[in-house]
Amino acid sequence: MLISRMIDGQFPAFERVIPKGNTRQIEFERDRLTNAVRRVALLSNERSKAVKFVIDSGKVEVTSSSPEFGEAREVIPVDYNDTAMQICFNAQYVLDFLNVVETDNVMLELKDEVSQAVMKPIGADGYDYTYVIMPMRV
């Protein structure tokens, strides 16, 4: 037996949450980014789980720090030649995307340090999806 009910109301306008002006794009090898975020997150603050992406020409440095444990940083070489910037994310939210995506490469699309970012798989056959992730203020 299947029972369903028609929902009365307006579905949220999810299209407004997906940013349209993210012009900065960084391509990562999924496994390399996953491993870097996992290792760096071990030394992040337990409550916030914040990891900082320090983005500069040709590299992204993934860092975190904790007063009790110290700090961790890993450098990932990337093809990026735009303005340098820093943005923080909850490590678990980044890993949630990276753990389920099946492509070898992923794209991080950014606008600035305070606007939502988008993560997408690159080369997904037949199933393309968008993951919106909000930055943290640290």
Interatomic CA distance for residues 131 and 18, integer angstroms: 9
Residue 18 lies in a domain: no
Q: CA 83 from chain center: how many Å?
A: 18
Question: Would you say residue 103 lies in a domain?
Answer: yes
Which two tokens mark 88? 């923080």
CATH number of the domain bearing residue 33? 3.10.150.10
State the residue range of the domain holding 110.
23-133
| pLDDT one-digit tens code per residue, 81-102 | 999 999 999 999 999 999 999 8
In 3D space, the residue among 34, 45, 74 whose CA is nearest the CA of residue 136 turns out to be 45
How far apart, in whole angstroms, are the C-alpha atoms of residue 107 and residue 25? 7
What would the pLDDT profile of 119-130 be if each residue is shown by its tens digit?
A: 999 987 777 788
How much is the pLDDT for 126? Answer: 72
pTM metric for this prediction: 0.86
Looking at the domain assignment, is residue 127 inside a domain? yes
Kindly state whether residue 30 falls inside one of the protein's structural domains: yes
Task: Find, among 88, 133, 122, 109, the residue nearest to 21 by Cα.
Answer: 109
User: Into how many domains does the chain fold?
Assistant: 1
What are the pLDDT digits (tens) for 52-70?
Answer: 999 999 999 999 998 888 9
